[in-house]
């Protein structure tokens, strides 16, 4: 696939307050992983069909699952909603 999607640095800066803090071992590049998650969902692909540019499919899935379970994506959507302050809740 040649249409690889990447979030911009400005987009990542806006989203950074919504991500959980890394404890212990640093996470893989959030920009790469989140771009991959968006690409997979937008194109309705299986995790195993993720382009290698986004990293291992297992990493993409695990991060998507963890962030879904802990409400990260819900907080992002609420924080980016028109009329919101755009700030992550404490």
What CA–CA distance (Å, rounded) separates 44 from 84? 29
What CA–CA distance (Å, rounded) separates 47 from 55? 11
pLDDT in tens, 40-55: 999 999 999 999 999 9
Taking the whole predicted model, whether its pTM rises above 0.85 is answered as no
Environment class of 87 (CB within 10 Å of its CB; exposed 0-12, middle 13-18, buried 19+):
exposed
Buried b or exposed e, range 32-67, using 16+ CB within 10 angstroms = bbbbbbebbeeeeeebeebbeebbebebbbebbeeb
Say yes or no to pLDDT of 89 above 60: no
pLDDT in tens, 30-39: 999 999 999 9
């Amino acid at each position: 696939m040649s249409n690889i999607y990447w979030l911009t640095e400005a987009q990542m800066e806006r989203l950074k307050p919504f991500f959980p803090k890394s404890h212990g071992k640093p996470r893989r590049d959030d920009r790469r992983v989140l771009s991959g998650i968006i690409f997979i969902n937008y194109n309705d692909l299986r995790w195993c069909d993720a382009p290698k540019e986004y990293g291992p499919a297992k990493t993409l899935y695990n991060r998507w699952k963890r962030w879904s379970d802990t409400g990260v994506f819900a907080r992002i959507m609420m924080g980016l909603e028109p009329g919101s302050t755009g700030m992550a809740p404490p």
